[in-house]
Amino acid sequence: MSDITDDSTTFDAAKFRQVLGHFPTGVTVITAMSEGAPVGLAVGSFASLSLEPPQVLFCAGKQSSSWPKIRAAGAFCVNVLADDQEDVCRVFASKAPDKFAEIGWKRSGNGSPLLEGALAYIDCTIGDVVVSGDHDIVIGAVQDLDVLHEGGPLIFYRGGYGRFTV
């Protein structure tokens, strides 16, 4: 057994980002309605969690201004971005006051924004939130999901966006 200590003052955050940047991730936008207005944030830390019951998870930074609004809504939509939606991802990764100003959308079955051009969506209610480090791990109970069109996913890898080809 190794002797592991928690000495964050010597931990190299840049190296952490560099090493984990070598793991490609899909890109999603998590959306909800907050007091009648759409809110959303770009998320790369999204995964399926359970088949029985159907659950997914995503991680939201505690410093996010959108996450508290999504949490208060109690429901959200995961929008799986297509490879031609890098501009959409950049908008939702920003602190823009109205991220939906130039983005087409309609309401999903649970009322959350479903982004135009998304590959797929997953409508969820918030099942649980686990606090860990500087993020909250959000577990969503899947209510509905569908593939909207066939295409390639938007991928984030080593600090940039890319495409996946078969």
pTM value? 0.88
Q: Would you call the peptide bond into 53 cis, given omega within 30 degrees of 0 as the criterion?
A: yes
For 28, the enclosing helix (H) or strand (E) is strand 28-34
Handedness of CA 62, 63, 68, 71 (dihedral sign): negative
Q: Residue 125's pLDDT is what?
A: 98
Query: What domain range is 144 assigned to?
Result: 18-163
Task: Give a yes or no: residue 131 inside a domain.
Answer: yes
Task: Give a yes or no: residue 114 inside a domain.
Answer: yes
Nearest-Å Rg of the Cα atoms of the chain is 16
Task: Give a yes or no: residue 67 inside a domain.
Answer: yes
Where residue 57 sits, what CATH number does that domain have?
A: 2.30.110.10
Write down the number of H helices and E strands in the chain.
3, 12
Domain count, the chain: 1
Task: Give a yes or no: residue 30 inside a domain.
Answer: yes
Distance CA 160, CA 162 (A): 7
Task: Give a yes or no: residue 2 inside a domain.
Answer: no
Q: Residue 64's pLDDT is what?
A: 94
Q: Residue 1's pLDDT is what?
A: 47
Task: Give a yes or no: residue 54 inside a domain.
Answer: yes
Task: Give a yes or no: residue 12 inside a domain.
Answer: no
Task: Give a yes or no: residue 10 inside a domain.
Answer: no
| pLDDT tens over the chain, length 166 residues | 444 455 556 788 888 777 766 667 889 999 999 999 999 999 999 999 999 999 999 999 999 999 999 999 999 999 999 999 999 999 999 998 899 999 999 999 999 999 999 999 999 999 999 999 999 999 999 999 999 999 999 988 788 888 777 6
Q: Residue 161's pLDDT is what?
A: 81
